[in-house]
Amino acid sequence: MTPLKNDRFIRALLRQSVDKTPVWMMRQAGRYLPEYRATRAKAGDFLTLCKTPELACEVTLQPLDRYPLDAAILFSDILTIPDAMGLGLYFSEGEGPGFKKIIRSASDVASLGVPDPMVELRYVMDAVSLIRRELAGKVPLIGFSGSPFTLATYMVEGGSTKNFQYIKQFLFSQPESAHQLLALLAQTISDYLNAQIKSGAQAVMIFDTWGGVLTTRDYLTFSLAYMRLIVDRLIREQEGQKIPVILFTKNGALWLESMAETGCDALGLDWMLPIGEARARVGHRVALQGNMDPCILYAPPARIEAEVADILASYGVGNGHVFNLGHGIHPQINPEHVDVFIRAVHELSAPYHQANSV
């Protein structure tokens, strides 16, 4: 494979010296870009876009054609795994994802198997290989998955939810079945991410979108314990290069110390805790990724630049920071504001790394 021309992102995750803070955005290939909307229209529907490697590659690269980003992230969806497990994923206009089969009992869990990522999820691996080739070493490629608890939430609820009734009922009334489901998902996700790494992903991220709805006891039991299993099983070096692992729990600020002890390389942060406080708590154990409120991108350019400056100042001098939003970019964001954001990170962060270039 072609050597990286810009390895700033990988170096930051490994807490190595960089010339400026690297930046990328969660959901950077998305509906805020007119070129994405055009490709999505060409695909006809979202699942076809995800399952066609050439189209997934096209939209993955679109933000890199516009902005000086330091990483690309595979265009896919976290629910491809439950779909590969036979649940029958579908998307309804205006209602989000749904499944033809829902998991609510021990027999439902027993009916599930671990899919072969090179068979049922081959289209994802083909997309990873194609994207990596098309990037030609420009920037690293990030692979990803949802966490076991987040995927279980969708599988038990049958789609999106606001009150988490069925997943919590399942955890508390059928804990043995819940643990069986989570263990099965941990194995599936490990296989899936390792296949992405073998196909060309140069870093991987686990999105625990819903872990923050749990109590501390239940988060440690039903979410973090299974992410730790995945971290233990992941390939950490490929083609002679280290493969960093990022854990992200939305609304997970309570548990940063516990997350840092999993063996991951970096923690993703939402915008609820100043990044300087997070850094003080985890010390040098892990890098930090984050943590601007996506809604700041609705603001005028000067306000965006001021927010970037505040976050950089909060983190302070030194390595181990990847700048990102605290969650995915909103579809209504003006693409020109994204350009202001990305360029502000690079321009304003250089003084925090001057000792590295002396």
Catalytic site residue from 27, 285, 303, 343: 27
Per the annotation, the verdict on 228 as an active-site residue is: no
DSSP-assigned beta bridge partners for residue 204: 143, 245
Is 186 among the annotated ligand-binding positions?
A: no
Alpha-carbon gap, residue 3 to 10, rounded angstroms: 13
Is 39 among the annotated ligand-binding positions?
A: no
Catalytic site residue from 32, 36, 67, 154: 154
Catalytic site residue from 7, 70, 77, 270: 77
Write out the two tokens for 278.
């997070």
Per the annotation, the verdict on 285 as an active-site residue is: no
Is 346 among the annotated ligand-binding positions?
A: no
Alpha-carbon gap, residue 134 to 123, rounded angstroms: 16
Amino acid at 244: P
Q: Which helix (H) or strand (E) holds 145?
A: strand 141-146
Is 209 among the annotated ligand-binding positions?
A: yes
Is 355 among the annotated ligand-binding positions?
A: no
Is 104 among the annotated ligand-binding positions?
A: no
Per the annotation, the verdict on 154 as an active-site residue is: yes
Catalytic site residue from 8, 11, 15, 40: 40
Per the annotation, the verdict on 352 as an active-site residue is: no
In order, the DSSP letters of 243-301 are --EEEEETT-GGGHHHHHTTS-SEEE--SSS-HHHHHHHHTTSSEEEEEE-GGGGGS-H
Per the annotation, the verdict on 303 as an active-site residue is: no
Is 187 among the annotated ligand-binding positions?
A: no
Write out the two tokens for 350.
């250089």
Please answer whether residues 92 and 163 qualify as being in contact, where contact means their C-beta atoms are separated by less than 8 angstroms: no
Q: How many CA atoms lie within 13 A of 159 on its CB side?
A: 12
Is 310 among the annotated ligand-binding positions?
A: no
Query: Cα dihedral angle (178, 180, 185, 191), rounded to 10 degrees?
Result: 170
Please answer whether residues 328 and 309 qualify as being in contact, where contact means their C-beta atoms are separated by less than 8 angstroms: no
Write out the two tokens for 200.
């060309």
C-alpha to C-alpha distances, 73 to 196, 205, 210, nearest whole angstrom: 12, 10, 21
Alpha-carbon gap, residue 30 to 185, rounded angstroms: 27
Is 327 among the annotated ligand-binding positions?
A: yes
Binding residues: 27-31, 77, 154, 209, 327
Binding residues for substrate: 27-31, 77, 154, 209, 327
Q: Which residue numbers are catalytic? A: 27, 31, 40, 77, 154
